[in-house]
Amino acid sequence: MAGKRGQRGGAAAPQAGEVAAQPAGGATGRTASAGAAWEYAPAPESREIVSISAEYGLFIDGDFGPAADGRQFPTINPATEEPLAQVALAGEADTGRAVTAARRAYERVWGSMPGAERAKYLYRIARILQERAREFAVLESIDNGKPIRESRDVDVPLAAAHFFYHAGWADKLEFAGLGPGSRADRAAAADGAGEPGPAGARGADGRAVPRPLGVAGQVIPWNFPLLMAAWKLAPALAAGNTCVLKPAETTPLTALLLAEVCQQADLPPGVVNVLTGAGGTGAALVGHPGVDKVAFTGSTEVGKEISRAVAGTGKRLTLELGGKAANVVFDDAPVDQAVEGIVNGIFFNQGHVCCAGSRLLVQESVADIVTERLRDRLAVLRLGDPLDKNTDIGAINSREQLDKITALSAAGEAEGAQRWSPPCPLPERGYWFPPTVFTGVSQSYRIAREEIFGPVLSVLTFRTPEEAVTKANNTPYGLSAGVWTEKGSRILWMAQRLRAGVVWANTYNRFDPASPFGGYRESGFGREGGRHGLAAYLDA
């Protein structure tokens, strides 16, 4: 196995140009306020709401059980390095069993179930997620390291919203304008050139319903473990597919709790299966001949491997990969609002966000004032215990990721950029990295080109809108971008020219289940969310 947990070691080593790690109470004490403006009393969320078992099994065919060969791996709390549980490591035999269970459930129950009935299960899952929201939020923060404020206010509500939204689609697929039953298809069929929908798959008014694909193999990363599970499962299930989900090695616990919710919702056995494990488990799932559709979110490197593995097999594929988004601030933007957007763009979820605004492009005439206000704002961000409700910046998810952020930041300094972090004591144990800003960044520097996936911002400047577009598009990625200006016409002008799947205007990191999300080029292909996201799970 990849053994990322095994590579986790002690606290972050002090970096050149930043303050040395000092005790800050660890994840059980006070949250370390970077600024001296206010002292915050600790406001920890109670851990008691979650009961973490010593061991977790695989979720196959409606039941939890050990891996066939009995192998396990540990999952730990990245804020404290405390071992949380031993989790089953799925091998090839387990993958085969899960795919077989999913196929059986697809053929016998789920694929032929009327959409209105499938909708009831999705709705039930959404309701249970809401009822158990606090439990999910605490568990996510413990296993992932993200602040409770974010898991409570973003991850869990959005996960429930995805199930609610897709529950609404399940009995309306013939109205989505996709595949058999769509307007175009019916017109073609009327000319004798098209194929009507499958016998028996007809909506209330006799329209043919687009067909599901079959068994979906879904591999997700560690940055939004529950939310990514919801992004994958909800549209697949609404469209009538069954699923085998592989969560990331470092964050398996909320996917397993979601499996428990599937049991609680009486979802028929085999409709959702969860295989925990490392990269090898993901590769076995993606390569299994019984999988009809592969959906992957993660690094561009692994996305390319998966593309190669799937090529020529006839499997459908969607890839949601990395990014190096430009957040563009014009001189007419309201500075304080833009600074909040910059902070949200790169420091939300410790910067472990594929669409993070990791390159700030600021118009030269306001560069000084924007960076000055940004420093003031960073000075009052609070880093520390993820379970403390005051915390803005939590722990880095793994030792491996911390090493990557550390190495890329060192490269930024070596290449000549100026590094700045607020005075920010780091807890003694766990994986921590202070919010960091690089100014004087040139487009050729690695910190301007590579996905750092951490709380590190590279600041570049521009003079004209044309230059902003050229610099923003100077990346192999194309996932997202932000524009800050008071002129609506300029927003539209920029949005037409930015080569990014999502462009936010005067806001950043806004997500909605009805809105398609996805990228171009090295950021992958296919969309998740909205009608476009459904298309990825239908024969359309």
- Catalytic residue list: 320, 354
3-state secondary structure of 425: coil
Binding of ligand NDP at residue 283 (CB under 6 A)?
yes
Of 58-66, 213-221, 441-449, 480-488: span binding ligand NDP (CB under 6 A) = 213-221
Does the footprint of ligand NDP cover residue 89 (CB under 6 A)?
no
Distance in angstroms (rounded) separating the CA atoms of residues 152 and 163? 17
Subset of 183-212 contacting ligand NDP (CB under 6 A): none
| Out of 150, 185, 292, 451, the residue judged to bind ligand NDP by CB under 6 A | 451
Helices (H), 416-462: 446-449
Sign of CA dihedral 275, 281, 283, 288: negative
Q: Which is nearer to ligand NDP, 167 or 310 (CB)?
A: 310
Please tell me the count of residues contacting ligand NDP according to CB under 6 A: 27
Strands of 179-332 (E only): list them. Answer: 215-219, 242-246, 272-274, 293-297, 316-320, 326-329
Residue 302 in contact with ligand NDP, rule: CB under 6 A: yes
Nearer Cβ to ligand NDP (305/415): 305
Q: Which is nearer to ligand NDP, 278 or 378 (CB)?
A: 278
**Whole-number Cα distances in Å, 324 to 20, 125, 132, 388, 429:** 28, 34, 35, 30, 30
**Contacting residue, 137, 295, 354, 460, with ligand NDP by CB under 6 A:** 354
Contact 99, 291 (CB under 8 A): yes
Answer whether 441's CB lies under 8 Å from 447's CB: yes
Nearer to ligand NDP, 320 or 388 (CB): 320
Residue 453 binding ligand NDP, by CB under 6 A: yes
Can you tell me which residue has the tokens 């539209």? 492
Q: Is 246 in the site for ligand NDP (CB under 6 A)?
A: yes
Q: Judged by CB, which is closer to ligand NDP: 106, or 222?
A: 222
Secondary structure (3-state) at 216: strand
- Closest to ligand NDP by CB, 181 vs 518, is 518
- Binding to ligand NDP by residue 297, rule CB under 6 A? yes
Structure tokens that stand for 322 in this block: 């990395």
Could you say whether residue 222 binds ligand NDP (CB under 6 A)? yes
Longest dimension (CA), the chain: 75
- Asked if residue 249 binds ligand NDP (CB under 6 A), the reply is yes
How far is 435 from 442, CA to CA, in rounded Å?
A: 20
Nearer to ligand NDP, 32 or 278 (CB): 278
Under rule CB under 6 A, residue 254 binds ligand NDP: no
DSSP 64-99: EE--TT--EEEEEETTTTEEEEEEE---HHHHHHHH
Stretch that binds ligand NDP, among 31-39, 163-171, 217-225, 369-377 (CB under 6 A): 217-225
* Bridge pairing between strands 293-297 and 436-439: unpaired
Residue 404 CB, nearest distance to ligand NDP (Å)? 5
Residues 386-445 that bind ligand NDP (CB under 6 A): 401, 404
Q: Which stretch binds ligand NDP (CB under 6 A): 57-65, 91-99, 110-118, 220-228?
A: 220-228
Closest residue (Cβ) to ligand NDP? 282
Element (H, E) at 505: strand 502-505
Asked if residue 230 binds ligand NDP (CB under 6 A), the reply is no
C-alpha to C-alpha distances, 11 to 283, 308, 394, nearest whole angstrom: 32, 38, 14
Rounded Cα distance, 125 and 258, in Å: 9
- Identify which range of 163-171, 175-183, 301-309, 438-446 contacts ligand NDP by CB under 6 A: 301-309
Taking CB under 6 A as the binding criterion, the range among 91-99, 189-197, 216-224, 491-499 that sits at the site for ligand NDP is: 216-224
Residue with token string 């524009």: 483
Which listed residue (28, 263, 299, 506) binds ligand NDP by CB under 6 A?
299
Of 343, 367, 508, 509, which Cα lies nearest the Cα of 422?
343
Q: Exposure of 36 by Cβ count < 10 A (0-12 exposed, 13-18 middle, 19+ buried)?
A: exposed
Nearer to ligand NDP, 118 or 315 (CB): 315
Q: Is 278 in the site for ligand NDP (CB under 6 A)?
A: yes
Q: How far apart, in whole angstroms, are the C-alpha atoms of residue 442 and residue 458? A: 9
**CB 266, min distance to ligand NDP, A:** 28
Smallest distance from ligand NDP to CB 235, Å:
17
Instruction: State the residues that interact with ligand NDP by CB under 6 A.
Output: 2, 219-223, 246, 248-249, 278-279, 282-283, 286, 297-299, 302, 305-306, 321-322, 354, 401, 404, 451, 453
